[in-house]
Structure formats: structure tokens, C-alpha cells
Structure 1
Amino acid sequence: MLARVRGIARSLVMYHGQPGRHRRMVRFYREFLGPGDVGFDVGAHVGSRVRAWRKLGVHVIAIEPQPDCLRVLRLLFGRDRGVTIVPLAVGAQAGRARLGISTATPTVSSMSTGWQGTVAEDRSFSRVRWDRFIDVEVVTLDALVATHGVPVFCKVDVEGFEADVLTGLHQPVRALSFEYLPPAHDAALAVLDIVEELGAPAGGYRYNYSPVETLRFASERWLDAAELVALLERFRPLGRSGDVYARLGSGPGD
């Protein structure tokens, strides 16, 4: 129990204990979201993006299967009518799945055993252990869209399960993001292929990259898929993780 409390406390300090970071996050997401928009936060964790998006007047659908994180989300946002907390995982199809929880570092809890095996070989993950396993109910993004409407922005940060999440979506959204981790470079490219196919009927996505939670874009202009891959290859040897952002059509600076 003590280890679980320490793990969640660490997340709270990291994601809610830095006022400057919160202000940067609000400014950053203003490019994608505004009052009255619907945003999907898939892998909401302890709600740092929920908090920022609510500051922008967004109705947030916060999806999170980890019980300890859900307790935090309900404590912070349970009375906020602008936040809908969905205590489920998201995947390619509805059903049940096994979630591996890292008690000490709950930010890397994952339903992808392949991803766990890949990143465990990286030095930065040398102390990470997935020491608890629970069965969770899984819903698809299509089902969430049917219930809550099409989001203006969909953030997907589920530690190697992003491809499964986006496979369960069959209509493009205006903008989305997914995590990039250099040790799992090939997995990120597989996600990019899914996003490319998803956006094709609507004219395709353009991309940018924000390294290591800087909340700043690495490129001054929005890129096509091939240019994004080239950009990620520059960050790959540095071991710098971050988030890929995709938006339909042209972005500022194109």
C-alpha cells in the first residue's frame, strides 16, 4: 500500500505541482481546443490535461482504467459537470484485457506485453517493474464517439497500446496526439501508419513533435509523414521521448 501511495504522490507532484508547466499546457492546447469543444483524454492518469483543457472551457472525456488514478480523478473532477470520467481501457475491440501496473511508476502501466518487453531493455527503464496485474473492461473509440460525440482533439497516451486504441476508430478527428518513445520507435511508426489511413478520406494529416513534455513544437512548420519520420530519427539517438501531434489539413506556418 505504501508503494502505491508513493507512486501516485510522485505523479501528482510531477503533473500538478508545477504551476508554470500548467500555464504552458493551457497556452499550448489553445491551438487545438476552445470553449464548448469535446476532448478525449485516453490515458488520463491523474488529470493534468483534464485540468488544462477545463481551463479552456473544453468538455473532457477522461478515460482511465487504473483504480488509483481513478480515485484521484474523481477527487479532483468528480463534481465538475464539464468532465466525464470513464473508468475503462480503450482498445481495438470491446471486451476485457489485462493491465500491467507499475506500482512505483504508474505513468508506465500498460496493456502491451510486447511494449513492456521492448522498453525494459532500455537503460531508462532499468528500475521499472510491472508488479500488479488487473483485468479491465475495454471499450473502443468508435463506441465513445457514439456516446459522447466526435472529439475536436483526442490525446492517446497508453504506453505502447496506441495502435490498438486507434484501430478502434473509423472516422478522422480534427486533431490527435500519440506518444513517441525512442526504444519503441517501430511501434510508433506502426501508429503513424494507422493515423495516415485514418486521415486519408479527409485530406490527410500534417504532423509535428513536442519532445519530453516541453509543450513546444520541434518544427516551425507542420510536416508530412515522411518528414515527421526524419524528424523523429533526429531525436531517436538522444533517447528523447515526446508526443506526435496530427491535425487535418495545413497547420500554422505551412
Structure 2
Amino acid sequence: MKVKNLMKNVFGMNNIKFIKSWFRSSSEKVLIEQRREFYAQFLKPDSVFFDIGANYGNRIEPLIHDKIKIIAIEPQIECVRYLRKKYGKKITILQNGVGKEIETKLMYISTNANILSSFSREWIDSTKNSGRFKKIKWDKTRKIEMITLDYLIATYGNPDFIKIDVEGFELEVLKGLSQNVNVLSLEYTVPERKEALIDCLSYLNNLSNSNVLFNYCITENTVFSLPHWVDYNEIIKLVNTNAFLNTQFGDVYVKFNQ
């Protein structure tokens, strides 16, 4: 532990992550390839991918050599610096948050687990009070310039896939979308945030005039849990089951029928 802390002090956390990224274990290499194969059903050469909440780019790395136009949106400057160092001009990087309107918003920063930094005070309180993240400290705040999904579409074109991983701020991100897209995913946290997930699914169903289908992956898996895509009524029934609530977290995938 002392050696690890010394390395952090000498090299910096981002530089350590950068160095480690070039020395992947066999299991990490397998995970990267699994993600690449999974995303291939949504993304082809010349496709447009919006990564909302890119963090350190674990969903970018599997796609970086596939001639995909990647737009990475990440509010935390530490992560942005890492992405710039690792990917350079291969991707477009925006240091912004994404919400329902263009504004300045306060972000709650967790310095001991920045992947859990969030714009949602409600999400922080609900997960911390449940004991899930009781050791996490959100001990800093920063003002972040927000943009919207509609702005991104107007600027970079209609995306083939949008990944949304924003720690409880998903509905606010979706409220900045006023048009159908192809496919998107959004992270969920249950049971604490079941109603918030239902609100997201309802918003998307209304946006598409019920012309939308759903599936989901549990935790970080890249295998759909359902054998086929289901409609809004079916996914709402499923979200209310104990079996789903026991999954704790994962990603719901939403496919708009054009």
C-alpha cells in the first residue's frame, strides 16, 4: 500500500492509469473484445457515438480502431486530461455536463471515487443512506457548463448510439432530447432509484409515441438479459419485480423504431 501511494504521489493518478492501460491483463483484454463485439450491433464504420459521462473511456477503448466518430462528453477535468492524453485527436472531447438546458450547474465531486461524482444530490443521498456508498465522500463542488443532447445532435449529427452514465442524472439528460434517435443506453440503480428509472422509461416512451423497445444488461455484462426486446408495458412490469430489483445496477437499452 505504501508503494502504491508513493507511485500516486510521484507519477499522479492519471499517469498511473495511462501506463496501466497499455499493460492489460488477459481478462481485461477479453472484456474489451466482448464490449467491442456487443457494440458492433449498434455501431459500424462511420457511425456516430455519443459517450455521455465518458469518465476514463472504458466504453471508448473497444471502439477506437473501428473508424467510429466518437464524441466524448465528460465534466471532470481530471478525466478529460486523461482522455486527451490517451486518445488525442482520434476522438472529440467536450468538458461539459449534459442536462435539460444550456446552463451552469453545480457538480458534486467525490475525490475518493470520481466515477461516482454526480449532478444529482438526490441520487447521492438515496444511495448513501441505503448504505451502498456509505464510505464515499462527495467533498467538493464545481460549476460545470451544461449542454443538451439536442445541441449535440445539431452540432455533430444524429448518433447511431448514445451511452448515458451520469450517476442519477439520467432523466435530466433525457429532458434535453426532443427527437427520436436510434439506440441509447442508460445506467440504472435499484432498488433505491426504481421510480427514477421508471420516469426515464416513461419519458422515452412518450417521446417516441410508444414506438420504442427495451432490453437490459445486468452490472457490466455485455449480454442482454432478455431473449428479445420488449415494449414499454413489459419493461415496466419487469422493473417492478424482485428479480430485477435484486440486480442492483446495470444498463437499460432503448431502441427507437424508425
TM-score for both structures, normalised by structure 1 = 0.89
Distance 1:227 1:59 in 2: 33
Distance 1:12 1:24 in 2: 22
Alignment pair present for 1:217 and 2:224: yes
For residue 226 of structure 1, what is the aligned residue in structure 2? 233
For residue 49 of structure 2, what is the aligned residue in structure 1? 39
5+ residue gaps in structure 1?
none
Aligned CA RMSD, in angstroms, stands at 2.4
5+ residue gaps in structure 2?
none
The number of residue pairs the alignment matches comes to: 244
Alignment pair present for 1:138 and 2:146: yes
Amino acid at match of 1:190: D
Where does 1:98-117 land on structure 2 (aligned, <5 Å)? 98-117=106-125
Percent of residue pairs bearing the same amino acid type:
32
Preserved contact between residue 219 and residue 247 of structure 2 (Cα < 8 Å)? no
Shift of 1:115: 1.1
Amino acid at match of 2:189: L
For residue 167 of structure 1, what is the aligned residue in structure 2? 175
For residue 188 of structure 1, what is the aligned residue in structure 2? 197
Alignment pair present for 1:199 and 2:208: yes
Distance 1:237 1:54 in 2: 34
Distance 2:103 2:257 in 1: 34
For residue 62 of structure 2, what is the aligned residue in structure 1? 52
Preserved contact between residue 175 and residue 245 of structure 1 (Cα < 8 Å)? yes
Distance 1:224 1:56 in 2: 31
Deviation string, structure 1 residues 41-85 (Cα, Å, up to 9, x no partner): 0001111111222233210100000011111110111131xx110
Preserved contact between residue 103 and residue 130 of structure 1 (Cα < 8 Å)? yes
For residue 157 of structure 2, what is the aligned residue in structure 1? 149
Indicate how the Cα distance of structure 1 residues 237 and 152 shifts in structure 2: closer, same or farther if over 3 A, else same: closer
Alignment pair present for 1:94 and 2:102: yes
Shift of 1:126: 1.4
Indicate how the Cα distance of structure 1 residues 9 and 210 shifts in structure 2: closer, same or farther if over 3 A, else same: farther
Amino acid at match of 1:153: F
Alignment pair present for 1:21 and 2:55: no
Name which of 207, 212, 215 aligns with 1:208: 215
